Structure 1
């Protein structure tokens, strides 16, 4: 089986690891920033005569530029500001304690990695994919996460906090988000299925498009200052459910009488 060529992924990760802009890399290689941009988006590949220079610059083999697993050493850096990580892929990466601010991660994929204590502020993360991660203490704020896919996340002991984020049309599938804080987030059109939100704190500032929730455990969750007009609760256990201070069971019994 022929291995997939991954040059565009590799060159971007190597550049970002070294905190270089596309212009700076282009200057070192004698090409324009537009040429580097085309390499990183997979539109073109560099002239063959440039490959030895690129491999020497990044201290890697020419073969590794094109084939094999893309690895990152980003965990060696504790902070990232105004970085372009669009469509980057992070696999088996250690991002513990990393602080990101004003980063672009649209279409990026992070999987089988550790994000313990990671903080992201003012990030552009449309269509971000998060899968099989350790998220203890993760905090994301003031970020665009519309269209994100959050899939198969395990349990955690340190609370996760999402504040002032846009989760429009995102999907949460088979995740344990117990004790998570979702504060003033746009959940318009969000889909949550097969997940646990036990003891979570959900605060949404105003009504948007309907949220679809299926097979979710909301035990002891809190929903405050929200518009529930037209909400339907079907085939659900409501033992202990309280609405505006009145047990739902009492409401139903009173209605039946």
Structure 2
């Protein structure tokens, strides 16, 4: 859940700074004065859909409402938060550590997640768009059906470990140097993205992965089951399979195939 003590202090401070009564704030947000009173006393928290209105009204980010501020903000760990179906926009979540968080159906866009760590989260159908992900670490989380779209370049590697990406979509992303370790990629779709110099480790056989228009230059795929994989219309200069250059394999195949035709 949201950190009630911090939120109740934050909302009350913002209201008093603007010399507003609880009734006036409630009128602006379309809620009762009693609802505002309950927020400020910690008896309840606003519906997640009201947070963007509060953020806009007080010209502050949603994450400052959720997490507060202060010099120790970046080092705090948040436990058991429920952000299901939340829409987080233009927020600074740098350095935040989240554990046992529920973010099913949430949308995070135009925000900074660099250095953020999320572990043991429920993030089915999560949508990530237009984000700064430098140094993001995400582990032991359920992300089946997630959509990761239009993520720009980064200088600090991104790390995904022990995550469930079943039937997720990675679209138009720069994931150079990303680490995908022991993740369930069953039915994953990757479109128009770069995975240059990345590590893609998947220990078991799952449903087919669909990869289209992706830059895998200098990537490493190891300990994987590639049986039945079809590579078509791709640039394969320097590609090796078990240490053998593919150019040599093709040349050997052409030579054997040509010899058979000559014998017929």
CA offsets per residue over residues 176-232 of structure 1, 9 Å max, x none? 000000000000000000000000000001010000000000000000000001000
Q: 1:172 to 1:66 in 2, by over 3 A?
A: closer
Structure 1 stretches lacking a partner, 5+ long: 1-14, 25-48
Q: 1:119 to 1:251 in 2, by over 3 A?
A: same
**1:51 partnered with 2:32:** yes
Which one has a larger percent helix, Structure 1 or Structure 2? 2
| Partner SS state of residue 247, structure 2 | helix
- Corresponding residue of 2:4: 18
Q: Once superposed, which parts of structure 1, at least 4 consecutive aligned residues long, lie more than 6 Å away?
A: none
Q: 1:219 to 1:123 in 2, by over 3 A?
A: same
Q: Distance in 1 between matches of 2:217 and 2:138?
A: 24
CA offsets per residue over residues 142-193 of structure 1, 9 Å max, x none? 0000000000000000000000000000000000000000000000000000
- Corresponding residue of 2:164: 166
Aligned with 2:93 (options 92, 95, 108): 95
CA offsets per residue over residues 48-79 of structure 1, 9 Å max, x none? x97112234547xxxx9598475511353532
- Corresponding residue of 1:107: 105
Q: 1:158 to 1:19 in 2, by over 3 A?
A: farther
Q: Distance in 2 between matches of 1:87 and 1:19?
A: 23
Q: 1:255 to 1:50 in 2, by over 3 A?
A: closer
Q: Distance in 2 between matches of 1:52 and 1:135?
A: 39
Contact 1:55/1:65 (<8 A) preserved = no
Contact 1:98/1:118 (<8 A) preserved = yes
Q: Distance in 1 between matches of 2:81 and 2:197?
A: 35
- Corresponding residue of 2:189: 191
**CA apart distance, 1:18:** 2.9
Root-mean-square deviation (CA, aligned residues, Å) is 2.5
Q: How does 1:73-92 map to 2 (within 5 A)?
A: 73=64, 74-75=66-67, 76=69, 77=73, 78-92=76-90
Q: What is the TM-score with the length of structure 2 in the denominator?
A: 0.75
- Corresponding residue of 1:213: 211
Q: Distance in 1 between matches of 2:54 and 2:34?
A: 21
Q: What is the TM-score with the length of structure 1 in the denominator?
A: 0.77
Moved more, 73-82 or 143-152: 73-82
Structure 2 stretches lacking a partner, 5+ long: 9-29, 41-48, 56-60, 256-264
- Corresponding residue of 2:260: none
Q: Distance in 1 between matches of 2:52 and 2:143?
A: 30
| Partner SS state of residue 255, structure 1 | helix
Q: Distance in 2 between matches of 1:187 and 1:255?
A: 32
From the CA coordinates, give the structure whose radius of gyration is larger: 2
Q: Distance in 2 between matches of 1:50 and 1:255?
A: 74
Q: Distance in 2 between matches of 1:67 and 1:127?
A: 21
Q: Distance in 1 between matches of 2:88 and 2:5?
A: 16
| Partner SS state of residue 103, structure 1 | coil
- Corresponding residue of 1:119: 117
